[in-house]
Chain A
């Protein structure tokens, strides 16, 4: 394996000893999205011995503008699993563990305890504060990155008695006051830059070189190329108040509320795929009916008590009259921990049109992969 890591090993600052440290390191990356992709890509390439990826979300076509580990063949797949598949091709010399689930107060401590360094690539404040607090309790360094449109923030928290994210921003802002990427957009290359900076901090911590970005927040602007580094002080009071909750931490409810964006998918992705269960969420009187597909009828009003009608072996494509109920339904099913559920953008009339047009085309056999 000397050859694979040759360009590291010939650096006097790293050498074989530094590369061995990288091989022995265990790093957990939260989220395989805009930040997670470049973080994972560079850490896998660098040869991090054990690389964990946690993400419950699925790859959507609007992710491909910046989430560089994925391609058309990843659409609809779980991000943690799709990232693992790509990274195993990049480096089959390391151990990559995918956790296709939500990070919660319940599973965080146990998971963090199995790793040396935690990297935050999440996209909502609930997760960011959960990650920060779990790092304080398990005493793990946290490599933080966050983005907004053309700007990014990077820091290393909870490192050698340094400050935590709460020492900078003690409490999450009120809900819906800070929009996320899916609501306001983001320059595709920005998470590439910020995520690469996070990967850089991870490697510096592991090898023990350079100055780790602890006690400082780096603010980067992609439009002006201005960097500001601002000093942050540790607040002992804040840290102690988190530690005080240590014993009840795993019992807390993780309140994601409206933070989880359900990203709807076009019916086109499913029309040519096998192993799909189409679910009509409308009430019995609503028209038009779609006869061309084999449909399971579960009105949204009875969804929670009808989950036994769902086929666990199939992907579930849920639709309604306009795409609103289908979003609510996916949210409900995610909360019930039912996997592989998709909200269809189109309403019933449009779906009917698409199917009829498909038959006019002579039933081409396009697949989701070549779409």
Chain B
């Protein structure tokens, strides 16, 4: 299926883009992350959370939605 992925903050700097659409047929959010980890080498070392269809989910969640977002914490103020 088509998956639309959004990247925020430092993650967008690693992927060099703020969004992309991928063709993917895995089961879990973590399966998708594995693909992204091999595509973007520096992603592994970064702290981030994943939202699926605008809802924060654990990496073990079944991939059911088309909208995925990778969200890092920000420290600045």
> Is A113 close to B, CB under 8 A?
no
Q: A18 CB to closest chain B CB, in angstroms?
A: 28
- Cβ of B28 within 8 Å of any chain A Cβ, yes or no, is no
B73 touches A230 (CB 8 A): no
Residues of B1-34 contacting chain A, CB below 8 A: 6, 8-10, 18
**Within A203-240, which residues are at the interface with B (CB < 8 Å)?**
217, 219, 221, 224, 228-233
Given A169-B47, A174-B47; 12 other pairs, CB 8 A cutoff:
A34-B77, A147-B76, A148-B72, A149-B9, A173-B47, A177-B47, A178-B47, A178-B72, A181-B76, A221-B18, A224-B18, A231-B54
Tell me whether B69 and A123 are in contact (CB under 8 A): no
Q: Mark A174-188, 1 if CB is under 8 A from B, else 0.
A: 100111110000100
B54 and A229 form a contact (CB under 8 A): yes
Instruction: List A contacts of B8 (CB < 8 A).
Output: 151, 219
Determine whether B35 belongs to the interface, using a CB cutoff of 8 Å to chain A: no
Name A31's contact: one of B47, B51, B54, B77 (CB within 8 Å): B77
Q: Decide if the interface of chain A is mainly helix, strand, loop or mixed.
A: mixed
Residue B60 at the chain A interface, CB threshold 8 Å: no
Cβ–Cβ contact B10 & A148, under 8 A: yes
Expressed in whole angstroms, the Cα–Cα distance for A51 and B53 within the complex equals 39
User: Known: A148-B10, A151-B8, A177-B47. Contact between A169 and B54, CB under 8 A?
Assistant: no
Name the A residues within 8 Å of B76 (CB-CB).
34, 123, 146-148, 180-181, 186
Tally of chain A residues near chain B (CB < 8 A): 42
Contact with B along A131-160 (1 / 0, CB 8 A): 000000000000001111101110000000
* CB neighbours of B36 from chain A (8 A): none
Complex A-B, nearest 6 residue pairs according to Cβ-Cβ distance, in ascending order:
A146-B74, A123-B77, A173-B47, A148-B74, A231-B55, A147-B76
A169, B73: Cβ atoms closer than 8 Å: yes
Instruction: Identify which of B45, B72, B75 contacts A123 (C-beta below 8 A).
Output: B75
Closest to A186 in B: B76
Q: Does A19 contact B (CB under 8 A)?
A: no
Which residues on the B side are within 8 Å of A36 (C-beta)? 77
Beta-carbon contacts under 8 Å, B21-71 to A? 45-47, 49, 51, 54-56, 69, 71
Q: Which chain A positions have C-beta within 8 A of B73? A: 125, 146, 168-169, 172-173, 178
Q: Which of B6, B45, B74 contacts A228 (CB 8 A)?
A: B6
Bound together, the chains give a CA A229 to CA B53 distance in angstroms of: 10
Report A's interface with B, CB cutoff 8 A: 31, 33-36, 120-125, 128, 145-149, 151-153, 168-169, 172-174, 177-181, 186, 191, 217, 219, 221, 224, 228-233
Selected from A146, A177, A191, A229, the residue in CB contact (under 8 A) with B46 is: A177
> Is the beta-carbon distance between A35 and B74 smaller than 8 angstroms?
no
Listed by A's residue number, 19 A-B pairs whose Cβ atoms lie within 8 Å are: A31-B77, A34-B76, A123-B75, A125-B75, A147-B77, A148-B74, A148-B76, A151-B74, A152-B74, A169-B49, A172-B73, A177-B45, A177-B47, A178-B75, A180-B75, A180-B76, A228-B69, A230-B55, A230-B71
Show the binding face of B for A, using Cβ within 8 Å: 6, 8-10, 18, 45-47, 49, 51, 54-56, 69, 71-77
Q: How far is the CB of B55 from chain A (nearest CB, A)?
A: 4
| Complex-state Cα separation, A140 to B41, whole angstroms | 41
> Do A128 and B54 have beta carbons less than 8 Å apart?
no
- Which of B46, B55, B77 meets A35, CB within 8 Å? B77
Looking at A120, A128, A230, the one whose CB has the most chain B CB atoms below 10 A away is A230
Bound complex: CA of A250 vs CA of B38, how far in Å?
44
Query: Does the CB pair B56–A124 fall under 8 Å?
Result: no
Contacts of B46 in A (CB 8 A): 177
Asked whether, in the complex, the Cβ of B49 is within 8 Å of the Cβ of A168, the reply is yes
Q: Tell whether, in the assembled complex, residue A232 and residue B56 are in contact, meaning their CB atoms are under 8 Å apart.
A: yes
Nearest neighbor of A35 in chain B, beta-carbon distance? B77
Which residues of chain B are near A173, meaning CB under 8 Å?
47, 73
In whole Å, how far is B76's beta carbon from the nearest beta carbon of chain A?
Answer: 4
Give the chain A neighbours of B71 by CB distance below 8 A.
217, 219, 230
In the complex, A146 Cα to B18 Cα: how many Å?
Answer: 19
Residues of chain B lying within 8 A (CB to CB) of residue A125: 73, 75
Residues of A within 8 A of B77 (CB): 31, 33-36, 120-123, 145-147, 181, 191
